[in-house]
Amino acid sequence: RALRRRLPRRPSGPPGVTPAPTRHPLQPPYPHPYRFVLNQPHKCRERAPFLVLLVATEPTDIAGRHAIRQTWGNESAVPGVSILRLFLLGTQPVFSAALRAALEEENHLHRDLLQQDFWDTYHNLTLKTLMGMEWVTRHCPGAAYVLKADRDVFLNLPYLVRRFLLPPKKNFITGYVYRNTGPLRRKAYKWYVPRQVYPAATYPPYCGGAAYVLSGDLAGKIYRVAQTLPVINMEDAFVGICLRALGVGVTDSPWGVFNMYHVEYERCRFSRLVMVHHFQPHELLRIWPHFTAPNATCQDELRPRR
């Protein structure tokens, strides 16, 4: 309850922080009192998980979620480590009754969907991340770590936990770190950021959005400071903007551990990395039995053998 009082008040009328007088269409409306359409407010009651997985998916991506639950998103993937998995969804601009029913059914079965009433579009991805941070802040503040991932990644959570997360840290964030990059100003790009949305030429250092991991305390700090900053349409760069406002640095990861490009599957190589981007759910299903086969051995492998 004390926590709730410290949370920033959601503006109902004119907010305390003055937004840009005219919002560019690519600028996600924020702060804004988005409502949870699907929520799991009690998931953390019995146990404070070590790691909360927040996976951004589109509402229609039922097959992708299914593959992730059976592979790296399996909550029992790391023996002795409590993992809590949640998918982040917005709403479809055209939202059919059939899809709504399918999602309710899926949520009834797995209890792992979070959905708020903003449009699920590429330029609104920042709202998805902030929904995840809001959930951790309100409903799971005792989590040691939070991992935000996209749906098209391979993740090796046992390696992540053993190599990078023990003992638990504070004010910590790592991933594939971008430094000295700036917004793309050409309208043709998917990643176009208008000057009106972000006028500066460079971003602060940030972790690529495919997958990054942060200590649980930072989730609350990012959520709170986000209420006071102009939100931009690049979710990963926006987290960097929040970190700069908080005076928190990003921690580099060793080369080859977080891969922003596709890497061909090779069991021993994959056992010594955390993330490979552009790995589709059907590929995950294909390699997973081989990757987790108990009889395989690799040198320097950091996972339990036999």
Name which of 249 and 265 has its Cβ closer to ligand NAG. 265
Query: What is the closest distance, in whole angstroms, from the C-beta atom of residue 174 to ligand NAG in the complex?
Result: 26
By DSSP bridging, strand 211-215 and strand 173-175 are antiparallel
Cβ distance to ligand NAG smaller for residue 18 or 295: 295
Minimum gap (Å) between residue 79 Cβ and ligand NAG: 8
- Least distance from ligand NAG to the Cβ atom of residue 175, Å: 25
Q: Residue 55 is encoded by which pair of tokens?
A: 């996976």
Element (H, E) at 175: strand 173-175
Closest CB to ligand NAG among 26 and 239?
Answer: 26
Closest distance to ligand NAG from the beta carbon of 31 (Å): 12
The nearer residue to ligand NAG, 164 or 192, going by C-beta atoms, is: 192
In whole angstroms, the minimum distance from the beta carbon of 259 to ligand NAG comes to 21
Distance of closest approach, residue 77 Cβ to ligand NAG, in angstroms: 6
Asked if 172 contacts 251 with a C-beta cutoff of 8 angstroms, the reply is: yes
DSSP string, 82-126: -EEEEEEEEE-SS--HHHHHHHHHHHHHH--EEEEEEE--GGGHH
Q: How far apart are the first and last CA of the chain?
A: 46
User: At 267, is the secondary structure helix, strand, or coil?
Assistant: helix
Of the two residues 7 and 298, which places its CB atom closer to ligand NAG in the complex?
A: 298
Nearest distance in Å: CB 302, ligand NAG: 17
Q: Which structure tokens are listed for 40?
A: 């799991």
CB nearer to ligand NAG: give 37 or 136.
Answer: 37
Residue 73 φ/ψ region, left for φ over 0, alpha for ψ in the -120 to 50 degree band, beta for the rest: alpha
Report the residue number, 198 or 258, with the smaller CB distance to ligand NAG. 198
Residue 287 CB contacts under 8 Å (≥ 6 apart), including other chains: 154, 265, 270
Nearest one of 223, 257, 205 to 34, comparing CA atoms:
223
d(CA 65, CA 49) in angstroms, rounded, equals 20
Site residues, ligand NAG (CB under 6 A): 25-26, 28-29, 69-70, 74, 76, 118-119, 121, 123-124, 290, 293, 295-296
